[in-house]
Structure 1
Amino acid sequence: MTEPIRPRRSGLRGFGHDGPSPWTDLERPPLDAAGLSRDLVVPEGLWTAVDVVTETGSTNTDLAARARAGEPEGAVLIAEVQNTARGRLDRVWSAPARSGLFLSMLLRPTAVPMERYGWLPILVGVAAASTLGRVSEVEIGLKWPNDLLVTVDGAERKLGGILTELSGGAVIAGLGVNVSLRQSELPVPTAASLVLAGARVADRETLLRALLREFAELYGEWVAAAGDPHASGLLPAYAARCTTLGRSVRVQLPGDRELVGEAVAVDGLGRLVVRTPDGERHPVAAGDVVHVRPDRA
């Protein structure tokens, strides 16, 4: 008698016989950690470890602890679900299990001056937007500084976000991208997923492999250029995908201040340059940007 075929579970951690099955939603299969590690951890490559956990509070927090303990560059931590994930400005990020890409990368760009570390979230954004867009066949833009945007039903919505932190002399770069969220699962109406945006390819392992390979290549070029955004090609690549440029914006600045005008450039320090109605140009290093119609500015 032929043995029945059962789903593979190799490489996954934390799914005991008494716990919930990762196969309860067949449209969201678990990641094959062993396969990802085999394909991505290669000699002379950037990635030194690719780990998948079934659930954690925050991959950034976990990987930051490993960085403080001396973990070398190149570790990647991926979670099937995060229950205390954070976005920019300490916003909560939540999504159903296995519905997206939730990962952090441990980077030690020692050849790059620390004042250029601010380009790393932009580098992650460029890699994510270009790779995920190409593979899924969905147009993905970048809202300054590094929110991933797609268009769903004619409206601009947030697909994902990036959070970078310093820990143990390393940079922990976290990325969260909604892949298969359904309309009823969206945390807010302004959120989106690749599937809702019409993705032709939404297999998470395919997306992950392409993303981590692309990031490793771009990161290598950036490090080789000592973090120079011009010499590495990062600044023009970002400007080409930044949907904030040329738009009327309202920027909420620290201290409850507000800046309204047109986003005209990203400067050599990664700051958004906003031209106000009086013609003055104001570089913005940190702030919450809202894209607005010209008649609402």
Structure 2
Amino acid sequence: MTPRDASDGNSSRWSDLDRPPLNAAALRRALVREGGLWSEVEVVQRTGSTNSDLAARAAEGAVAEGAVLVAEEQTAARGRLDRQWTAPPRSGLFFSVLLRPAEVPVARWGWLPLLTGVAVATGLSRTAGVDTALKWPNDLLVTVGGEERKAGGILAERAGADGVVIGVGVNVTLRAEELPVPHAGSLALAGAVSTDRDPLLRGVLRSLADWYGRWRAADGDPAACGLQETYAAGCATLGRRVRAELPGDRSVTGEAVAVDGDGRLVLATEDGVQEPVGAGDIVHLRPA
């Protein structure tokens, strides 16, 4: 499927007046500037996966760092471990960015999805007025009716030898009857003061550029740039008793007490052992 720029004519663009299309030209004017991170912003009406599309372009050398690909609808969106999810057209923010942190040691690149979580939560809190929290390693939580619900997720994938494509999906205007599962949520259901996706996307991308710049300037040191402390402060997983389900039917149960310098979740088990669990190793993280 060939993506098409959303500025092209399409009779279905205004089929749901509560969900107007993104303004691609205005987004480019606001975000693409000399000396800034974002080098291009493209909005397409429909595609399978923005992560897959952008990774393919990166492999061909067709895009520079800071490329942003946004879709009004994804038909083959993927989460961690290739889990599928769907959402109605124009009901959320569905986008991917290409980063090339060449000066940062590869061992620290595992912080990029956590950094993105902090940036997305910060940007949405400012623009949507919604209190957000992070579930380690890659979920964005909002509160709906006193209950924590997942409203978004992050997926980071290597793109060639020197690149990382990071995909973000956030439910913005999903209504209760449209939720894919009962424990999902959206910014609208959480009482957002604004669900206008243009300023929401601008706010998230500006926040991401800011955090990425700080992290890169610190050579990827999460403590030196304040990322580790900020992530811990916004992480709803910490302080809770959880069960980490690992490959091979192995599991670790304990209280989540910290996120270490490598971005791993540290569990204090009943045996008095502190065991770190990496995001790449975990199948599920559930309340215990």
Q: Same fold (TM over 0.5)?
A: yes
Q: Which residue of 2 aligns with 1:252?
A: 245
Say which of 30, 41, 51 aligns to 2:32: 41
The answer to whether structure 1 residue 119 and structure 2 residue 84 are counterparts is no
Q: Which position in structure 2 is the counterpart of 1:269?
A: 262
Amino acid at match of 1:114: V
Q: Does 1:233 align with 2:226?
A: yes
Which structure 1 residue ranges, 4+ long, deviate > 6 Å from structure 2?
none
Q: Which runs of 5+ in 1 are unaligned?
A: 1-10
Aligned to 2:78: 86
Q: Give yes or no for contact 2:22–2:198 (8 Å, CA) kept in 1.
A: yes
Counterpart selection for 1:167 from 153, 156, 159: 159
**Which residue number in structure 2 is paired with residue 4 of structure 1?**
none
Query: 1:15, 1:21 within 8 Å by CA — same for their partners in 2?
Result: no
From 13, 25, 29, the equivalent of 2:20 is 29
Does residue 121 of structure 2 align to residue 132 of structure 1? no
Matched position secondary structure for 2:157 = strand
Q: Which 5+ residue runs of structure 2 have no aligned equivalent?
A: none
SS at match of 1:235: helix
Aligned to 1:224: 217
What residue number does 2:143 align with? 151
For the structure 1 residues 288 and 247, does the alpha-carbon distance in structure 2 shift closer, same or farther, using more than 3 Å as the test?
farther
Cα deviation code 1:196-242 (max 9, x no counterpart): 01101111001011111111111011111110101111100100100
Letter in 2 for 1:80: E
How far residue 14 of structure 1 moved from its aligned partner, in angstroms, is: 4.9
Q: Kindly state the Cα deviation for residue 130 of structure 1 after the two structures are TM-superposed.
A: 1.2
**Equivalents in 2 of 1:136, 1:181: separation in Å?**
15
Report the equivalent of 1:194: 187
Q: Which of 270, 273, 277 does residue 284 from structure 1 map onto?
A: 277
Percent of pairs with identical residues: 60
Tell me if the contact between 1:249 and 1:289 (Cα under 8 Å) persists in the aligned partners.
no
User: Which secondary structure state, in structure 1, belongs to the residue aligned with residue 37 of structure 2?
Assistant: coil
Aligned residues: 280
Q: Is the radius of gyration larger for structure 1 or structure 2?
A: 1
Tell me the TM-score normalised to structure 1 length. Answer: 0.92
- The code of the aligned residue for 1:231 comes to A
**By how many angstroms is 1:96 displaced?**
0.2
Secondary structure at the counterpart of residue 240 of structure 1: helix
How far apart are the structure 1 equivalents of 2:284 and 2:152? Answer: 15
Q: Is the 8 A contact 1:272 1:284 kept in 2?
A: yes
Aligned equivalent of 1:110: 102
What is the distance in 2 between the residues matched to 1:250 and 1:81? 34
How far the C-alpha of 1:153 sits from its partner, in A, is 1.3
2:107 partner letter:
E
Normalising by structure 2, what TM-score?
0.95
Tell me the CA shift for residue 98 of structure 1: 0.2
Q: State the 1:250 CA deviation.
A: 1.1
Structure 1 15/189 Cα, relative in aligned 2: closer, same or farther at 3 Å?
farther
